[in-house]
Amino acid sequence: MKKDLLGIDDLTRDEIYLVLDTAEAMREIGQRPIKKVPTLRGKTIVNLFYEPSTRTRTSFEIAEKRLSADTLNIAVATSSVLKGETLADTAMNIEAMAPDMIVLRHASSGAGHLLSRICRSRIINAGDGMHEHPTQALLDAFTIREHKKRIDGLKVTIVGDLMHSRVLRSNVLLLTKLGADVWVSGPPTLVPTGIERLGVRVSPAIDEAVTGADVIMMLRIQQERMHGAFIPSLREYFNIFGMTKARVARAKPEVIIMHPGPMNRGVEIASDVADGPYSVILEQVANGVAVRMAVLYLLAGGADAD
């Protein structure tokens, strides 16, 4: 593994499988009476979150604590960022206190790469703007593999706001690297041009895209990133692209429905689908801890000499 985890782009096929296999072992720790191993004792990990997050931040923090690392959370609302400090200055000040790793979430694409250049600490990207969210894609792959026993050759359909989604980008990079047949569907205003160059099939017709799917992954309509009229209304969006029971019925009988959260019920996904028998949404959350433990463990050692 490299020094940092900035994106799926940095990982080889073998490294992805190493993370998934390690996560398999890490998951067992969460089922013990004492859910803690001493592995990262004495390591300091800073969770630096410039965007609101419940799931990802909690998941990282639980993962860090289960590995016995000392963790601290910096939420921007209570930090000097409000006083006008730049990301680079904040990072260098944190760096001066010699943490071992920084987990960064930031609204700007490439924020992790900036930190990677100026910090000795290992950087884990927990979501940078519209670029990547690698640990989400890894936990999605872990969840898919658990249900389907493989990833190679599966039809995975990703539906929703393709434009603003870092989850989409990381998932497409990962799933195509492992040989899945990835379809994407969404309103034309939210399909980035050139997305097919990533090796996915684009279909504006959701019914075609979900037909015969092994996995359906819904993406959130990210209203906070939409500065303009991308969709006429949320209700119309639901009618045309929302995941309903009728649409699920077009997929394979043993299809799994995924969502990275937070869900907008009644916008991209109907409540009876989100809570239905095919939904693995809460399993994704549970697996997130094991996958992040694996990433922390694998990055905590020495970086490959390269």
Question: Is 240 or 303 the residue whose CB approaches another protein more closely?
Answer: 303
Q: At 102, list the tokens.
A: 């920084």
CB of 31 to another protein, least distance (A): 10
Question: DSSP assignment, residue 37?
Answer: -
Candidates 23-31, 101-109, 178-186, 222-230; binding stretch for another protein (CB under 8 A): 23-31
One residue of 12, 13, 21, 223 binding another protein per CB under 8 A: 21
**φ, ψ for residue 57, nearest 5 deg:** -65, -45
Question: Is 188 or 302 the residue whose CB approaches another protein more closely?
Answer: 302
Q: From CA 106, how far away is CA 48, in angstroms rounded?
A: 8
CB of 140 to another protein, least distance (A): 21
Is 83 tagged catalytic? yes
Candidates 28-36, 117-125, 137-145, 220-228; binding stretch for another protein (CB under 8 A): 28-36
Contact 126, 136 (CB under 8 A): no
Q: From CA 26, how far away is CA 274, in angstroms rounded?
A: 27
| Position 13 contacts another protein (CB under 8 A) | no
Question: Is 21 or 275 the residue whose CB approaches another protein more closely?
Answer: 21
Is 105 tagged catalytic? yes
Is 13 tagged catalytic? no
One residue of 25, 240, 246, 282 binding another protein per CB under 8 A: 25
Q: At 61, list the tokens.
A: 């923090």
Q: From CA 165, how far away is CA 272, in angstroms rounded?
A: 24
Four-CA torsion 275, 281, 287, 288, nearest 10 degrees: -130
Q: From CA 206, how far away is CA 237, in angstroms rounded?
A: 12
| Position 37 contacts another protein (CB under 8 A) | yes
**Residues in contact with another protein, shown as a per-residue x/- string from 48 to 77 under the rule CB under 8 A:** -------------------x----------
Count of positions on this chain that bind another protein (CB under 8 A): 27
For β-strands 181-185 and 201-202, DSSP reports them as parallel
Q: From CA 166, how far away is CA 51, in angstroms rounded?
A: 14
| Position 84 contacts another protein (CB under 8 A) | no
- Residues labelled as active-site residues: 55-56, 83, 105, 133
